[in-house]
Amino acid sequence: MPPIEFKILILENSIIIQKGIYRIFIESGFNCSIFFATNLDDLKHTLKSREIDLVISNVSFFFNDINSLKLLKSHFPDTIWTGFQYSYSENQLLQEFSYVFQINDNQDTFISKVKELTQEDSNSDIAHTVNLTTREVEVLKLLVVGFSNKEIADKLNLSIHTVNTHRKNITQKSGIKSLAALIIFAVSKNYIHIDSLES
């Protein structure tokens, strides 16, 4: 099976910090595509146009607008939301992120946590039994070969809201948050054959 490429979006308006994070990923050999956003409009546009696995956001973007972060998380439930901070932030805001990096974290710590969050090193070995419904399996199969929520809804004659609900259920049952890790899971559980991903 070819290595899974994770899609990572960095929300930061400092070019220096953007390049620093990018360089860490390149030097570590982490298999990913990196996208950048310098404001919330850029962020929303990229999230709508691509299946982003992980967002790394400067937490200051949400200092006075925690509700925007909550709304984004609800609209993109399969995306892992992390932050990084280099100034004081309220705990209420920090708790909205799956993890918060510190500006002085070293490279090994940073990459190790990213791998843990994206489950890159899990080798798809899900310890617990995942009991998906027939419909959830149908949604999963279409999801991992690249269909959007709207395309899945049209194909299965469902509403987009219902598709979102199935996706949330799949995430909750499997414990997997990133799309890339879901692909590994689907192949390992024989829900889909590897050839379907290469066509």
How far is residue 71's CA from residue 33's CA, in Å, rounded to a whole number?
Answer: 25
The structure tokens listed for 142 are 């279409």
Helix spans in 29-159 (H): 40-49, 66-75, 91-94, 107-118, 134-144, 149-156
Residue 161 has pLDDT above 70, yes or no: yes
Class of domain 134-198: mainly alpha
Alpha-carbon 61 to chain mean position: 19
Residue 126 has pLDDT above 50, yes or no: no
Spans of all domains in the chain = 6-118, 134-198
pLDDT given for residue 127 in this prediction: 39
Nearest by Cα to 167 from 156, 155, 179: 179
Under DSSP, the state recorded for 69 is: H
pTM score, whole prediction: 0.63
Q: How confident is the model at residue 153 (pLDDT cuts 50, 70, 90)?
A: very high
* 112-116, 137-141, 188-192: range with lowest mean pLDDT: 188-192
Q: Check: CATH 3.40.309.10 for 6-118?
A: no
How far is residue 139's CA from residue 158's CA, in Å, rounded to a whole number?
Answer: 10
Residue 43 has pLDDT above 90, yes or no: yes
How far is residue 40's CA from residue 143's CA, in Å, rounded to a whole number?
Answer: 26
pLDDT given for residue 44 in this prediction: 93
Residue 137 has pLDDT above 70, yes or no: yes
pLDDT given for residue 3 in this prediction: 53
Contact predicate 30/115, CB 8 Å: yes
Contact predicate 107/27, CB 8 Å: yes
